């Protein structure tokens, strides 16, 4: 009796699941979802190339230094780099003295040795980049109720991360008239900014790069246009997300060559050992 009951219960749930699946499929086929502004006007990231792309790509240290300069002078006012220490900047080609000077230019949380009270002190090479806001409440108050994300792993956390960051920085624009005509209720709310490369088309971040020459590059560097600065800071964020990328590629190439050599050697040994043998 118990066996028959368990079979009936299982059969009931199987039929219920099949019915739900069939009903859902029928609804999807006969009553498609209404079009949305996000679906029709959200754009795929732009095509952009970086020196580190591909199996043989390598970081362009000069570009990474330019990207760090853009981050320091523009992005660091709102975005943190929680996983990057000042001493890591030596990988970009900065000298020990330059790293110390960069670190000292930031105020990091510390403790007064005489009173034991929390305070702020100049950074040291061993410190990590400090957060720009004391807490999320302060961050929301300064950014239209949005908390600016940490950028350390941004190019890994987003699909086509480097292209996404570049597209977002260069994608701020006025809402298309076609969008407002087709979706009158999709007008960008006050305090937000239209950007077709963002998932819901509107974000709290104002355009951070507002014009050419906003960051002054030194001699021997390309002109600091909005497009160039966007590429440079995107390249820098590729490095923050994976600083060992160059070494990983070198190791991968060496391992691949070794495996190819071992495969050929193994095949030749096999042919030599079994050349005179018959199955």
- d(CA 273, CA 214) in angstroms, rounded, equals 70
78 known ligand binder: yes
DSSP helix/strand/coil, 254: helix
C-alpha R_g of the chain: 28
159 known ligand binder: no
Cβ atoms of 168 and 75 closer than 8 Å: no
Cβ atoms of 89 and 83 closer than 8 Å: no
Cβ atoms of 208 and 132 closer than 8 Å: no
Cβ atoms of 148 and 71 closer than 8 Å: no
39 known ligand binder: no
- d(CA 128, CA 100) in angstroms, rounded, equals 12
- d(CA 147, CA 204) in angstroms, rounded, equals 9
193 known ligand binder: no
Binding annotation for heme c: 75, 78-79, 205
Binding annotation: 75, 78-79, 205
């Amino acid at each position: 009796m118990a066996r028959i009951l368990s079979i009936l219960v299982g059969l009931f749930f199987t039929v219920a699941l099949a019915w739900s699946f069939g009903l859902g499929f029928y609804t999807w086929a006969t009553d498609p979802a209404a079009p949305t502004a996000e679906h029709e006007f959200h754009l795929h990231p732009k095509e952009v190339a970086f020196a580190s792309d591909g199996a043989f790509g390598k970081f362009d240290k000069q570009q990474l230094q330019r990207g760090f300069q853009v981050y320091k002078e523009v992005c660091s006012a709102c975005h943190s780099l929680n996983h990057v220490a000042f001493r890591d900047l030596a990988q970009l080609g900065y000298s020990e003295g330059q790293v110390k000077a960069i670190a000292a230019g930031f105020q990091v949380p510390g403790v007064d040795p005489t009173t034991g009270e929390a305070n702020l002190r100049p950074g040291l090479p061993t410190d990590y980049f400090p957060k720009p806001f004391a807490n999320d409440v302060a961050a929301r108050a300064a950014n239209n109720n949005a908390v600016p994300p940490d950028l350390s792993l941004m190019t890994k956390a987003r699909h086509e991360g480097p292209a996404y960051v570049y597209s977002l920085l260069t994608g701020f624009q006025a809402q298309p008239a076609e969008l407002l005509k087709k979706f009158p209720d999709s007008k960008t709310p006050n305090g937000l900014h239209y950007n077709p490369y963002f998932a819901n088309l509107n974000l709290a971040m104002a355009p951070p790069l507002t014009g050419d020459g906003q960051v002054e590059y030194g001699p021997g560097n390309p002109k600091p246009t909005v497009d160039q600065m966007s590429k440079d800071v995107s390249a820098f964020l590729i490095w923050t997300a994976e600083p060992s990328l160059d070494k990983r590629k070198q190791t991968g190439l060496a391992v691949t060559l070794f495996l190819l050599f071992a495969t050929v050697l193994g095949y030749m040994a096999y042919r030599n050992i079994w050349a005179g043998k018959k199955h």
